[in-house]
Amino acid sequence: MKTSSDNLPGAAEVQLGDEVGFSLYATSLAMTKAYKPLLQPLGLTSPQYIAMQSLWESDEVTVKALSTRLSLDPATITPLLKRLESQGLVSRTRGVTDERLVFVSLTTKGDLLRNNAALIPAAITEATGQSSQVLLRLKRDLDQLRSRL
């Protein structure tokens, strides 16, 4: 069955391995797989880890601010925060002057977890086989690409 993309110049020659999107997707899966054994002892998933990293950098933020920072929909981040709260790592409280706002804060246990996670970035750098300079350049390129999409 012919599709509209069959009429585009060069469409028939494009292979899956040539697609930037596929490379980004496959790399994302590989990174998640590399993080998994490092995060398991902490009891965290990759999305929970990035939420904790954000809170370690800037504690007591609104759910909306956190979801924006992590590029996650508020409906997606709420179950994630509930799991972190059930683990005793964060607490959620309503705003005093505006009860529509929900603030997320680290608990003492959540703050202490930072020490156990401190070696993860170096372990990931080592797992990639790349220098930190190469990875920093890659990160900048990916950030720029994301901002253009």
Q: What is the pLDDT of residues 52-108, one digit of tens each?
A: 999 999 989 999 999 999 999 988 999 999 999 999 999 999 989 998 999 999 999
The partner residues of 103 in beta bridges, in order of sequence, read 62, 93
Under CATH, which architecture does the 45-109 domain have?
Answer: Orthogonal Bundle (1.10)
Task: With beta carbons less than 8 A apart as the criterion, state whether 42 and 113 touch.
Answer: yes
Q: What is the pLDDT of residues 96-125, one digit of tens each?
A: 999 899 999 999 999 999 999 999 999 999
pTM value is 0.84
Statement: residue 12 has pLDDT above 80: no
Q: What does the block give as tokens for 127?
A: 């797992």
Task: With beta carbons less than 8 A apart as the criterion, state whether 39 and 89 touch.
Answer: no
pLDDT (0 to 100) of residue 5? 53
If 0-12 CB within 10 Å is exposed, 13-18 middle and 19+ buried, where does residue 128 land?
A: middle
* Mean pLDDT, residues 15-27: 91
User: What kind and span of H or E run contains 82?
Assistant: helix 74-86
Domain ranges of the chain: 45-109, 119-149
Task: With beta carbons less than 8 A apart as the criterion, state whether 77 and 86 touch.
Answer: no
Rounded distance, CA 142 to CA 130, Å?
A: 16
